[in-house]
């Protein structure tokens, strides 16, 4: 951004914003600037309507009949295809189910089973911790298997991939810095060495265009409660390229993944295709809320979404550095917009207290230990004026030192 815009220029940006009308589809509390959609997306009117119908009509009136009449049983596959459209996956390759952690466990086991002569999992030392925890869990169940971590065993993940590696588990966007990896290039690198790759799309799905099929990705996992606005604890998803569907084997062989679930057979027989990743009964009310949330996405141009995301994050970086740079904030996110997801992070020795002061002043972002303040920009409901006002408040907190109030130093259990 060459010249710093003024208030009038910010107003003009919002006037010509092609996604501006989408803001009215969401429930935004008055007096609040919400820049934490990369942790939990806001509710939409459509999600509430779908949840209300599911609770009062489908459950409340039709009861068990709704497994058939309301299509409950097939929702993981139907919603999977809708998520698949947003991540560049052809129909039949994505299923909505369980949690990201559980799905990482399942896909790691599936990938290891497809490479039985290999014994190494590669991941990132700077990954969101659940990815590492689940990889450690898989290693603990497979004697002779080991885990290599970027930043621990080598500076770059590419240096860790060789003929011993069965699978690479990697985040498309880093949860703390917002750095965006080159999906196509790293996938090619893994394949050159005969390894498979699992992409974690938790900070990608609904934030920018993804082309899993085009990048020849093997597997992917992700959540739906961030940029997709599915609600707290909304079910996650798994993508598996069709070329593996006949050979998928994963250890959580629950009845929903059975070829004939209502035959109640004594022994497990895997179902067809992506259904093999299903395990137990899925949370229907959460799935219904997600269905409502996804209705909005039928109207969203992903390229337009990405363009606004870059505009918002570029503006935020420029304003913060111009107005708050003298107070010790250091940019942690990539300055190059092509290498940045839809979030911006700054570091500061007193990051926790600064973020608590921001939240008390009506600007919701979040803190990541040890010293990161993190802001997520959801283009469907964040405006350019939100960015301007958030920086004005941040500058005031830093200039006046109001963050030094003792109440902002007390850490809660969830931060």
**Positions marked catalytic:** 128, 200, 225-226, 374
**Residues whose CB is less than 8 angstroms from the CB of residue 255 and which lie 6 or more positions away in sequence, other chains included:** 261, 280
CA atoms lying within 13 Å on the CB side of residue 11 = 3
Q: Across the strands, what pairs with 147?
A: 121
CA dihedral 175, 178, 179, 183 (to 10 degrees): 70
Q: Are strands 237-240 and 219-222 parallel, antiparallel or unpaired?
A: antiparallel
Strand order in the sheet with 366-368: 330-331, 343-347, 372-376, 366-368
Is 77 within 8 Å of 275 (Cβ atoms)? yes
Token pair recorded at residue 186: 């790293």
- Contacts within 8 Å (CB) and 24+ apart, 3-12: 4/318, 4/319, 4/322, 5/315, 7/388, 10/315, 10/384, 10/385, 10/387, 10/388, 11/385
**Distance in angstroms between the alpha carbons of the first and the last residue of the chain:** 32
Token pair recorded at residue 183: 């999906």
Report d(CA 90, CA 85) in Å as an integer.
7
């Amino acid at each position: 951004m060459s010249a710093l815009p003024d208030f009038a220029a910010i107003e003009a940006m919002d006037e010509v914003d092609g996604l501006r009308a989408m803001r009215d589809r969401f429930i935004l509390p008055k007096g609040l600037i919400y820049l934490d959609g990369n942790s939990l997306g806001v509710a939409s009117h459509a999600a509430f309507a779908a949840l209300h119908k599911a609770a009062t009509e489908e459950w409340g009136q039709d009861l068990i009949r709704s497994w058939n009449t309301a299509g409950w049983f097939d929702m993981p596959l139907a919603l999977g295809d809708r998520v698949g459209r947003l991540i560049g996956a052809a129909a039949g390759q994505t299923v909505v189910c369980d949690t990201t952690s559980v799905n990482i466990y399942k896909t790691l086991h599936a990938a290891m089973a497809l490479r039985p002569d290999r014994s190494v999992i590669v991941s990132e030392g700077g990954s969101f911790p659940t990815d590492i925890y689940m990889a450690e869990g898989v290693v603990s169940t497979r004697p002779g298997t080991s885990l290599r971590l970027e930043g621990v065993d080598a500076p770059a993940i590419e240096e860790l991939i060789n003929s011993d590696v069965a699978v690479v588990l990697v985040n498309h966007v880093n949860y703390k810095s917002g750095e965006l990896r080159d999906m196509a290039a790293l996938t090619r690198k893994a394949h050159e060495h005969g390894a498979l790759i699992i992409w974690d799309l938790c900070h990608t799905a609904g934030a920018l265009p993804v082309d899993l099929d085009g990048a020849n990705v093997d597997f992917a996992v992700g959540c739906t409660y961030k940029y997709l606005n599915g609600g707290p604890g909304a079910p996650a998803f798994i993508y598996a390229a069709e070329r593996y569907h006949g050979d998928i084997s994963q250890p959580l062989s629950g009845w929903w993944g059975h070829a004939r679930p209502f035959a109640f057979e004594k022994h497990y027989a895997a179902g067809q295709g992506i259904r093999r990743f299903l395990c137990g009964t899925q949370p229907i009310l959460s799935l219904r809320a997600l269905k409502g949330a996804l209705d909005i996405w039928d109207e969203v141009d992903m390229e337009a979404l990405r363009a606004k995301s870059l505009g918002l994050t570029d503006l935020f970086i420029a304003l913060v550095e111009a107005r708050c740079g003298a107070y010790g904030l250091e940019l942690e996110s990539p300055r190059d917009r092509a290498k940045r997801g839809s979030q911006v992070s700054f570091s500061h020795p007193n990051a926790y207290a600064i973020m608590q002061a921001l939240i008390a002043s009506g600007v919701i972002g979040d803190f990541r230990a040890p010293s990161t303040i993190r802001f997520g920009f959801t283009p469907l409901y964040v405006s350019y004026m939100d960015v301007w006002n958030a920086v004005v408040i941040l500058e005031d907190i830093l200039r006046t030192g109001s963050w030094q109030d003792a109440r902002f130093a007390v850490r809660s259990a969830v931060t």
